[in-house]
Structure 1
Amino acid sequence: MYAVSTRTRPLVVVLGNLFWAFNGILALGGPVSGTPSSVLTRAVFGIRGNRVSTVITNWSVCVAYEAVNLAMGALAGFALLDRLGVAVGTATRWAVVLLDGVDGAAITAYALFVTDFIDVLSQVLELTVVALGPGLAWPGLAWPSASST
């Protein structure tokens, strides 16, 4: 652990584990009932009240995963630079962490864009197939007809 004294290291480890334990406690009801926890809290708090619960839950999970990703990415970057013979000083460490954060944000934004684009594209294709379906003549594709049964 870089820049953390020996006395504060156990505190950092305990706080990190408590954060993950908090996420686990929030998700306890889901597997027991066979329903996602956000659906259960909707029944308890209503639709508007569930927004608050879901925001807290999702925010904590996002922060926890981002912390893990930044830590692992930074440590991998430090090790790679050290292996390449680059002196890993404070400025280099900050640059690696910043690059790791920007890279993670770019990948997340790209994934969200692609997901939205694929949703729209699949709806357009679905409507096209429904509208043109039986009239389409695709070689090798036989549409079922009432007389074939």
Structure 2
Amino acid sequence: MNPSDIEILSDASTLQVHYFFDDDSHSMDANVLNKCDYEVLSIIKELANVFSIDIIVETEPIGEGGIKKWLKIISKEGDAKAPIITPVIVAILISILSNPIGKVGEKLVEKVFEDTELAELQKEKLRNEIRILKENQGDVRIDSLANLD
């Protein structure tokens, strides 16, 4: 995401995440979108925990063009810090989402989107190949010893 992909509405407690595509398409795998949304919501929840504020996140209507999601952060607390903290959460979230991620962040993103079933099948295949190699290695040693005579 680029900084231009994220917008703040005038009340400073609403965040728009707009996913842009490199291939001029206007659709996206729903599971990928769901995982992206889950991660954004997890960051919001963690930021709320850091600031010790109880919040809810509401989804507002989706706009035209690409996939846009408006997330409105609303404090469930009626105290004086709510109007200050919710814009701070949005600002921090914008900073997190709009900055390039390093190698550690890339690995975390890869882990989130990893196909666990495929990874498990690949591990099982590797285990089987190792087992077969170990079994055949004993046969090779016996053949090698026989050739020494």
TM-score, shorter chain, exceeding 0.5: no
Higher relative contact order (CA 8 A, sep 6+): 2
Higher strand residue share: 2
Q: What is the TM-score when the length of structure 1 is the normalising length?
A: 0.33
Higher helix residue share: 1
